[in-house]
Amino acid sequence: MTDPWVWFITGASRGMGTQFAHAALAVGHSVVATGRDPERVRAAVGDHERLLALALDITDGEDSAHAVEAAVEKFGRIDVLVNNAGNFQAGFFEEITSDQFRAQMETNFFGSLNVTRAVLPVMRAQSSGHVVTITSLAGITGGAFGGAYAASKFALEGWMEALHGEVEPFGIRTTIVEPGFFRTELLVEGDSTLWAELSIDDYAARTREIIPMWQGMNGSQSGDPAKLARALLKVVALPDPPERWVAGADAVDGVIQKGRLLIQQAEAHRDLSTGLDHDHD
């Protein structure tokens, strides 16, 4: 597409969201950059005539609808939605309270649903648009201490796969983005990373080892979010953009490994798995 687009980006006050906004503005697109605090968004992205910074709590459906209305009032359309906002609830399952687990799902999963639900009528009326949802390598392979986060990202993966076939007849495209480890603020404690509230003795020793490991990763991740943002623009501009884009060498390796594991698991007990039909009369 050669004409400028209107991008609607959630979680734009830091990290990948800020870089997505920078990249889109740099090539002439207009950007609706959202976050809980629009002043933080403006400070992160910088003032620009083609930028609209909006307050948005993605966990609030009405708030999402109002933000979309303001975007359309300003720019007349929305061409690309980037569901990026999210956080990381870390801890062993038994030590994460039910409220914490639900809060993880509300932000990472239902937040994307709220915003997409508000944007899709605009895209259907246009007979065009592209829904991009940032999941994670954790949406393909879950790991100990990251169950809540993985659950929210796995949920996004399944929802987006189903959504693809639902909106394609309206000229709307979808892309799942699965990043590996990128040097963002996701691992900043108290802001994007939250620890389990409960403490169970049986998990204490492993917790004492794992938390410093996560803390030590902050600021040393291999992925460059600015490069990710520029690459995403190329992906979205493809004539036939992919339904799934794996971002980062570590993510590519991880997805391939998981794919091989799934095949091994499917074939491991083929005799038991394939002999379950009703006997012929």
CA atoms of 24 and 16, how far apart (whole Å):
12
Q: What angle do CA 161, 228, 21 make, to 5 degrees?
A: 90
Burial 176-192 (b: 16+ CB within 10 A, else e): bbbbbbbbbbbbeeeeb
What does the alpha-carbon distance between residue 238 and residue 240 come to, in Å, rounded to a whole number?
A: 5
| Cβ-Cβ contacts under 8 Å for 232 (sequence gap 6 or more) | 20, 23, 82, 132, 177, 245, 247
Q: What angle do CA 264, 268, 274 make, to 5 degrees?
A: 115
Using only C-alpha atoms, what is the Rg of the chain?
20
Q: Would you call 149 a catalytic residue per the annotation?
A: yes
Cβ atoms within 10 A of the Cβ of 90, count? 23
Catalytic residue among 8, 75, 149, 182: 149
What SS3 state is found at 89?
A: strand
One-letter amino acid of 214:
W
**Could you list the active site residues?**
149
